[in-house]
Chain A
Amino acid sequence: MKEKIIKAVYSSIEEINKTTNQENPLSIGLTTKLFGGDSELDSLGLISLIVAVEQRVSEDLNISVTLADDRALSQEVSPFSSVQTLVDYIIVLANEAKNG
């Protein structure tokens, strides 16, 4: 499942690089920063990415996850810090969804 989630996130980055984020495309890799001073993404880019990832995970893995909510914002390490933290967070949510 982890590989599929990574693929879904990478595809989403490719998608927003082609649309909303053409001027400062994000590099595709686990260490890519998504939020904060080191990131190439502005707040609009981050919204686009979150929306794209939610929909791609739903389409490709048939799992419904909500990435932006109070729980995500209250994590000690923000799920939106990097691609790695985002993937880790989606794995947690996906496991919860699978186990009901």
Chain B
Amino acid sequence: MKLKMDNLPVLFITGTSKGIGNYLAKHYANNGYQVIGCSRSKFDSLEMSNYRHFEVDVSIEKDVVSLFKDIAKTYKKIDIVINNAAVNSTLSMVAMTSFEKMKSTMEINYLGTFLVCREAVKLMVRNKFGRIINMSSMAVKHEVSGEAGYTASKAAVVSLSRVLAKEVYPFGITCNVIAPSALDTDLMQSIPKDALKDVLKRNAILSLGEPSDIINAIDWISKPESHSITGQVIYLGGV
């Protein structure tokens, strides 16, 4: 039976102009979801009737609020939120890191995730269902020199998610974290190859991760039957 467009599960994902966000957006739009994506940069939107793109910087509060007002008006609900948008500046020791670089990393990776969670919860509370999935990183476990900003921002995402999970569970909402191993994306281009190899040596799986690994984890967490899986951090790649 073909689902009518207005009956499709609604999935919102940040950072869909490239990398894993783009891959996930295409995958879920091809698999029966109404996908809503956003990115800071201009982007030739996916040519799919069930994909809608917003040019929004997730770290700007009024833009995120306005985006969710639009979603509430048009779709009335959000079933799944994937906070994927992130930046990872070039490696730099704390002593050499500018305040502006640290601030913008926290704004996009952490505050952006917070804002999207806050607004999404308001929609999910009304529907008594929701799955929030925040992307973190193996960096939180490995604590690699030169990655303080990225690592701290992703650790903050973990703490936010674990607290939020407790607050929203009574409303039928779960909040979990997926922390992938390194993937071959633009975000990884700033990491020198040797440094990356060294970090991967600490994992059970020495090779780069695949986007399909992330999809597998998202699908599992998102199932209605997974209502008791919340506040968890799922590391991929044998971290």
Contact = CB atoms under 8 A, between A and B. Distances in A.
A59 B73 contact: yes
A51 interface: yes
Contact of B122 (A19, A20, A51, A64): A51
Contacts of B69: 58, 64
Interface string A48-73: 10011011001100001010000000
A47 B66 CA distance: 20
B65 A58 contact: no
Interface string A13-48: 000000110000000000000000000000010011
A16 B185 CA distance: 45
Contact of A55 (B65, B66, B126, B170): B126
A59 B123 CA distance: 13
Contacts of B215: none
Nearest to B168: A47
Given A44-B170, A66-B65, A58 B72 contact: yes
Contacts of B126: 48, 51-52, 55
A59 B128 CA distance: 19
B171 interface: yes
A47 B125 contact: yes
Contacts of B72: 55, 58
Contacts of A54: 122
Secondary structure dominating the interface of A? helix
A51 B126 CA distance: 7
Contacts of A44: 170-171
A22 to B, nearest CB: 13
Contacts of A64: 65-66, 69
A48 B125 contact: yes
Contacts of A48: 125-126, 171
Nearest to B126: A51
Contacts of B128: 19
A19 B69 CA distance: 22
A54 B170 CA distance: 20
Contacts of A52: 126
Contacts of A19: 128
In order of increasing CB-CB distance, the 8 nearest A-B pairs are A51-B122, A51-B125, A44-B170, A64-B69, A48-B125, A51-B126, A58-B69, A55-B72
6 contacts: A47-B125, A48-B125, A52-B126, A55-B126, A58-B69, A64-B66
Given A51-B125, A55-B72, 6 more contacts: A19-B128, A47-B125, A48-B171, A51-B126, A64-B66, A66-B65
